[in-house]
Amino acid sequence: MDYNPMELMICVASRYLEDGATVSVGTGIPCAAAMLAQRLHSPNLIILFEAGGIAPLLPTMPISVGDSRTMYKAIYTASMGEVMESLQRGMIDYCFLGGAQIDMYGNLNSTMIGEDYRHPKVRFPGSGGANDFGSLAWRTIVVTPQSPRRFVPRVDFITTPGYLDGPGARERAGLPPGTGPYKVITNLAVLGYDEETKRMMVESVHPGYTLKDVQENTGFELIAKGFSTTPPPTREELKVLREEVDPLKLVIGREAK
């Protein structure tokens, strides 16, 4: 079967969203993954958008978190305040986040590149709600292309906390026990986190790639105790993704870079 890296990442991400779970998504890959899951194996998946749409049945791909389609047949059309309150109450199982940099402990940087905060080399939009979601959602999923420039030994700025500097660090910082990074899905592999060290580890390598490919595109040493080959997208997944979720190729037509 022919599929591109973007389609692969969306299909793999959707498989982690079980029926009845709650997931906060933005536009793009997270929304496509949630829509695919809702149509294929998780009809009772509760999708939340930061702007206030709670449990919609998305008819087509929205172009923003405030798009009217994010409220289509929703249980509740709320506001950012209610969504953040749900997060603080521990009611959100999964959130999707991204950033310019990620390190071995899952810390994310979407603020700046450089050593001087006031005079950075590059300034990014910043947190938005990313710190809130990464701090309080039970499981954080990152979907991103993989390269040494993005996967760095230490992020230049911690916008969103992962496991900070290792075991127990989140709890010492006052974050709820049991929350934190869960999966990193890239164009090369699925990465998780070692339970003892909280460091990033290889769980599966995508078809056509090797562990060497994955490591060469990472700026730090990955743990590889044992890993499998990622099951490729099925015909059904690709059909629904292409014909129902994103027929205009707003997301799957992009290059993964």
Which domains occur in the chain, in start order? 5-245 (3.40.1080.10)
Contact of 97 with 140, CB cutoff 8 Å: yes
Out of 7, 50, 203, 237, pick the active-site residue: 50
Contact of 141 with 16, CB cutoff 8 Å: yes
Q: Write down the pLDDT at residue 102.
A: 98
Contact of 256 with 29, CB cutoff 8 Å: no
The pLDDT tens digits of the residues spanning 178-228 come to: 999 999 999 999 999 999 999 999 999 999 999 999 999 999 999 998 899
Return the CA Rg of the chain.
Answer: 18
Residues of the chain scoring pLDDT < 70: 1
Backbone angles phi, psi at 95, to 5 degrees: -135, 150
Contact of 165 with 124, CB cutoff 8 Å: no
Q: Write down the pLDDT at residue 27.
A: 86
**DSSP letters spanning the chain:** ----HHHHHHHHHHTT--TT-EEEE-SSHHHHHHHHHHHHT-TT-EEEETTSEES---SS--SSTTSGGGGTT-SEE--HHHHHHHHHTT---EEEE--SEE-TT--EE-SEESS-TTS-SEE----TTHHHHHHHSSEEEEE----TTTB-SS-SS-SB-SSTTSTTHHHHTTPPTT-SEEEEE-SSEEEEE-TTT--EEEEEE-TT--HHHHHHT-SSPPB-S--EEPPPPPHHHHHHIIIII-TT-TTTTS---
Q: Write down the pLDDT at residue 44.
A: 95
Label the pairing between strands 112-113 and 139-143.
Answer: unpaired
Q: Is 236 a catalytic residue?
A: no
Please, which residues have CB within 8 angstroms of residue 40's CB and are 6 or more apart in sequence?
Answer: 14, 236, 237, 240
Candidates 243, 33, 255; CA nearest to 143 is 33
**Crossing angle for the helix pair 29-40 and 5-14, to the nearest 10 degrees:** 50
Q: How far apart are CA 59 and CA 49, in angstroms?
A: 15
